């Protein structure tokens, strides 16, 4: 009898533990034909191409601001140790993108649209999450299952020549619809989730990321079109972040230094009109 009750208690314990065992969702990179090193190589070479096509802002104060935010997030374990870099594109459309292996870009229009530092950090965390989860090369791998193995094997053996050049020959570009930069809703949901964890870890209010995305989408218009065509809304962003909060440190969370942010916003507002880029304002092939 006593034994049976003990068994019953144990059963209740197992059931209760089961309810909580669901825990935070595990996030790992999916199928990929590229190695981590090849992600880094590909992103470095693609960054050189992109920087020929956009206007990289040369403003040490703004660059330092974005780099400081980015480097804090990049140092979290969730960022998976890729060699991140952070640059600002002088372009008034609201956009951000990251290449495999770490090169990350924020448009001046995005800085102008943000309400606080945590919102800027939210976008950076979301982009870092795409890199850490290797979404770009995952998509590229799935889209080129037949051709890629030989290309990657030859490149790995010879370690010379342009990996990006080889990949570009498959018809892969860096434009709005690039397989490297246009994500699925599932990838978006995962990037939000991993970004949320990064933000919480360094003390930014993670809800600000989702709030900013929702605000941008509600604002509509052509200035945000490119961001949402490559980062489609997975739905219920604020609710998803709030649901994740139960697994995260209790805070306190910050929206960042408000006075410094105002100074940054004034500086962005005072920038001259962006010079005409070589081709278009957005990354193209
Ligand atoms: Zn995204």
Compute the distance from residue 232 Cα to the ligand 1 centre, in Å. Answer: 7
Is residue 277 situated within a structural domain? Answer: no
Tens-digit pLDDT profile for residues 40-64: 999 999 999 999 999 999 999 999 9
What are 259's two structure tokens? 């006075």
Is residue 183 situated within a structural domain? Answer: yes
Residue 284 reports pLDDT greater than 60? no
Residue 3 reports pLDDT greater than 80? no
Compute the distance from residue 130 Cα to the ligand 1 centre, in Å. Answer: 7
Is residue 22 situated within a structural domain? Answer: no
Strand order in the sheet with 96-98: 85-89, 103-107, 96-98
Compute the distance from residue 243 Cα to the ligand 1 centre, in Å. Answer: 19
Q: Which of the four pLDDT bands, split at 50, 70 and 90, describes residue 279?
A: low
Is residue 159 situated within a structural domain? Answer: yes
Is residue 240 situated within a structural domain? Answer: yes
Q: CA dist 268 to 114, 126, 208, 258, 271, Å?
A: 11, 22, 20, 15, 5
Compute the distance from residue 234 Cα to the ligand 1 centre, in Å. Answer: 9
Is residue 9 situated within a structural domain? Answer: no
pTM over 0.85: yes
Lowest mean pLDDT among 124-133, 253-262, 274-283: 274-283
Q: Which of the four pLDDT bands, split at 50, 70 and 90, describes residue 285?
A: very low
Is residue 283 situated within a structural domain? Answer: no
Tens-digit pLDDT profile for residues 136-194: 999 999 999 999 999 999 888 887 789 999 999 899 988 878 899 999 999 999 999 99
176, 282 Cβ separation under 8 angstroms: yes
Compute the distance from residue 98 Cα to the ligand 1 centre, in Å. Answer: 9
Number of structural domains (the chain) is 1
Compute the distance from residue 88 Cα to the ligand 1 centre, in Å. Answer: 17
Is residue 11 situated within a structural domain? Answer: no
Give the domain extent around 182. 27-269
Compute the distance from residue 212 Cα to the ligand 1 centre, in Å. Answer: 13
Count of C-beta atoms within a 10 Å radius of residue 63: 15
Compute the distance from residue 126 Cα to the ligand 1 centre, in Å. Answer: 6
Compute the distance from residue 198 Cα to the ligand 1 centre, in Å. Answer: 15
Compute the distance from residue 161 Cα to the ligand 1 centre, in Å. Answer: 30
Compute the distance from residue 197 Cα to the ligand 1 centre, in Å. Answer: 15
């Amino acid at each position: 009898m006593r034994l049976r009750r003990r068994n019953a208690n144990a059963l209740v314990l197992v059931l209760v533990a089961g309810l909580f065992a669901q825990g935070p969702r595990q996030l790992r990179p999916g199928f990929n034909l590229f190695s981590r090193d090849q992600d880094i190589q590909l992103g470095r070479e693609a960054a050189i191409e992109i920087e020929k096509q956009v206007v990289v802002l040369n403003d040490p104060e703004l660059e330092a601001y974005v780099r400081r935010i980015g480097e804090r997030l990049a140092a979290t374990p969730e960022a998976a140790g890729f060699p991140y870099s952070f640059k600002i594109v002088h372009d008034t459309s609201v956009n951000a993108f990251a290449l495999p292996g770490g090169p990350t870009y924020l448009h001046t229009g995005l800085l102008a649209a943000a309400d606080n530092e945590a919102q800027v950090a939210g976008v950076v965390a979301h982009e870092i999450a795409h890199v850490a989860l290797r979404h770009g090369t995952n998509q590229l791998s799935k889209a080129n299952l037949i051709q890629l193995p030989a290309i990657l094997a030859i490149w790995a053996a010879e370690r010379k020549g342009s990996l990006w050049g080889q990949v570009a020959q498959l018809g892969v570009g860096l434009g709005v619809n690039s397989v490297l930069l246009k994500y699925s809703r599932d990838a978006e949901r995962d990037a939000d989730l991993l970004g949320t964890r990064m933000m919480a870890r360094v003390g930014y209010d993670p809800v600000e990321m989702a709030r900013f995305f929702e605000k941008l989408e509600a604002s509509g218009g052509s200035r945000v079109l490119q961001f949402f065509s490559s980062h489609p809304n997975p739905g219920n962003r604020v609710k998803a972040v709030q649901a994740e909060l139960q697994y995260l440190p209790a805070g306190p969370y910050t929206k960042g230094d408000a006075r410094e942010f105002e100074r940054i916003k004034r500086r962005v507002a005072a920038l001259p009109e962006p010079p005409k880029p070589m081709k278009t304002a957005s990354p193209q092939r």
